[in-house]
Amino acid sequence: MNTLQLNRETIYTAFYKYGLFIIFFILVLIFSFLNSNFLTGANAINLLQQTASTGIAAAGLVFVLVSGGIDISMGSTMFFSSVIVTTLTNSGIGLPGAFLVSILCGATVGALNGFFVSVLRIVPLIVTLATLYIVRGVAMAITGVQSLFFFNKVGDAVAYTRIGGVVPVVVVILSVSLFVVQLVLSRTLFGRQIFAIGNNRVGARIMGIKVKRNTFLTYVISGAMAGLAGLVSGAQVGAVTPTFAEGQEFIIITSAILGGVSLFGGKGKAFPGAFLGVLIVMCIENGLVMAGANMYVYKIIRGLVIFFAVMIDCLRNKGELR
């Protein structure tokens, strides 16, 4: 009985530790069987490019989730950032300015979320739900419900530039984002404080941690990263339509949770955690496209992935007090 229990615990531990890698490997095998072009270098680069914007946004969201919060306004923040950046780049602003503006646009939205959540202590879900509609409405008012196009070299520079003629610049941006976020989370005092807040907010306050300030900063960072993701996504698509990034927040949140970032707070990594979660979600979408699946299957699969991610997170944290 003890041996059986020990083996069961060993299997559970191995699954929680390596389960995502196993799932990703199985998905690669399945889609490679369905389409021989799936497992090629060209498609691997394409998959990483598709992962870039979602991965960048998910990296920023890790801060909010680890602190015990939630941000469902990221899709609208991406839309707002893309609208502003597209408008300004078409007016002559250069590449450095485009990056700065995208980050500032996102950080502004994040600061609003952070103020209402940390200072006024309104429930994060309600705050970011309101922001989701308000920010998208403001962006649509700016565009006049018209599509905007990148009639400039900035979009081409972001979407098509390859380092050494091989590695897309968006993949480099993703890699740097993941590296910096994981470094801050694991190697800085701020990162350790965020984990402490997510595990026990009251205890963190008693320990002298500035809970309000740090919570505010997590939303600013999340917004800034979503703004940057908006620039990357907009440049890749080449146009910003009224439905741009609509519902993208749920893909970002699902990917992060699937990668082991807990909805309950106090747990999570940007790399490999959140990145691997994004890679799995994008792998499923990429594989379904290459397999010629019905377009309605995508929504069904997305729903199942969201359910699976939340279920796994609940099982991981079963019985824990937060």
Q: What is the number of domains present in the chain?
A: 1
Residue 46 forms part of a structural domain: yes
Nearest to 251 by CA among 195, 212, 217, 301: 301
- For residues 225 and 163, the model is more confident at 225
Q: What does residue 162 show for φ and ψ, rounded to 5 degrees?
A: -125, 130
Token digits for 139? 């962006």
Q: Is the dihedral of CA 53, 305, 265, 182 positive or negative?
A: negative
pTM: 0.90
Considering the domain boundaries, does residue 275 fall inside one?
A: no
pLDDT band at 1 (very low <50, low <70, confident <90, very high): very low
Q: How far apart are CA 108 and CA 118, in angstroms?
A: 15
For residue range 189-211, what is the model confidence (pLDDT) as tens digits?
999 999 999 999 999 999 999 99
Q: How confident is the model at residue 290 (pLDDT cuts 50, 70, 90)?
A: confident
By the 10 Å C-beta count (0-12 exposed, 13-18 middle, 19+ buried), 163 is classed as exposed
The answer to the question of residue 176 being in a domain is yes
Q: What domain range is 101 assigned to?
A: 40-245
pLDDT at 15: 64
Tens digits of per-residue pLDDT, 236-284? 998 899 999 998 998 899 889 888 888 888 888 888 888 888 988 888 8
For residue 322, what pLDDT is reported?
46
Q: How confident is the model at residue 301, as a pLDDT?
A: 78
The pLDDT value recorded for residue 298 is 74
Contact 144, 257 (CB under 8 A): no
In the chain, the amino acid numbered 91 is S
Which residue has better confidence, 4 or 272?
Answer: 272
Residue 195 lies in a domain: yes
Residue 321 pLDDT > 60, yes or no? no
Confidence of residue 303 (pLDDT cuts 50, 70, 90): confident
Tell me what the mean pLDDT of segment 153-160 comes to.
88
Q: Label the pairing between strands 167-168 and 239-240.
A: unpaired
Is residue 83 situated within a structural domain? yes
Each residue of 48-99: pLDDT tens digit?
Answer: 999 999 999 999 999 999 999 999 999 999 999 999 999 999 888 889 999 9
pLDDT, tens digit, 9 for 90 and up, residues 165-186: 888 999 999 999 999 999 999 9
Phi, psi of 19 (to 5 degrees): -55, -40
pLDDT of 234: 93
Average per-residue pLDDT for the chain: 87
Looking at residue 54, what is its pLDDT? 94
